[in-house]
């Protein structure tokens, strides 16, 4: 996976490649899907959610430009917990928010199994972030929004980066917003398709 799906497709950050090669992805999918765990595509994890394809996980992590052992990270949409675990191998601490309590609990069990102690797992509205631990050096969202939620921008440290799929429910553009002293700097990283971020500040339940 690391060599064929990531390195050959432009993932060059050695720290990201090492983390992706360390976390056992098969632990984050259903037993009947273990043989497909390393396929370069998303897989269903229940509750109408998915585990993102490995390349997208690596692309988002690389775009966040984490400082190993130092970055404070907010992860929106815990899901299976796979991306959270990858981030935890690089960052100083990861706060992760999931709106579906059952998914959050399963993810916590996986974190315990792997001995990952630098993760704080929360249940709530991802678009609201987690202001109690702000500011963050990076915020990554595994769910799409029509625009960057104001709360997430406000919780970024100066120099921090928000990696967010932006668009409608059908298709989005992976977008990186960097907070600077002069405002937001925006760059795009390619077309993607994510589940919607369900929140009054993103897509409401009817839209989802």
* Catalytic residue from among 52, 80, 141, 199: 52
Cα gap 65→81, rounded to integer Å: 20
Place of tokens 């996980």: 57
Say whether 199 is catalytic.
no
Cα gap 91→69, rounded to integer Å: 5
Kind of pairing between the strands at 136-141 and 156-167: parallel
Q: Which of 191, 194, 184 is nearest to 161 (CA)?
A: 184
DSSP code at position 169? S
Kind of pairing between the strands at 183-192 and 172-180: antiparallel
Q: Which residues contact 57 (CB under 8 A, 6 or more apart)?
A: 20, 82, 83, 86
**Residues forming the active site:** 52
């Amino acid at each position: 996976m690391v060599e064929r799906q990531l390195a050959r497709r432009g993932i060059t950050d050695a720290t990201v490649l090492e983390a992706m090669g360390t976390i056992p992805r098969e632990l984050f999918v259903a037993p009947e899907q273990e043989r497909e765990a390393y396929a370069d595509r998303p897989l269903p994890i229940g509750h109408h959610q998915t585990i993102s394809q490995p390349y997208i996980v690596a692309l988002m992590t690389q775009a966040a430009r984490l400082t190993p052992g130092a970055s404070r990270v907010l992860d929106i949409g815990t899901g299976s917990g796979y991306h959270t675990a990858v981030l935890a191998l690089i960052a100083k601490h990861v706060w992760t928010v999931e709106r579906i309590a059952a998914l959050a609990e399963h993810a916590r069990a996986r974190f315990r199994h792997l001995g990952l102690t630098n993760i704080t797992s929360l249940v709530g509205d991802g678009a609201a972030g987690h202001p109690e631990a702000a500011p963050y050096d990076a915020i990554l969202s595994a769910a799409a929004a029509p625009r960057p939620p104001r709360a997430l921008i406000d919780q970024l440290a100066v120099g921090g980066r928000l990696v967010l799929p932006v668009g409608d429910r059908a298709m989005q553009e992976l977008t990186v917003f960097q907070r600077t002293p002069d405002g937001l700097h925006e760059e795009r990283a390619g077309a993607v398709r994510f589940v919607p971020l369900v929140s009054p500040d993103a897509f409401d339940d009817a839209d989802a």
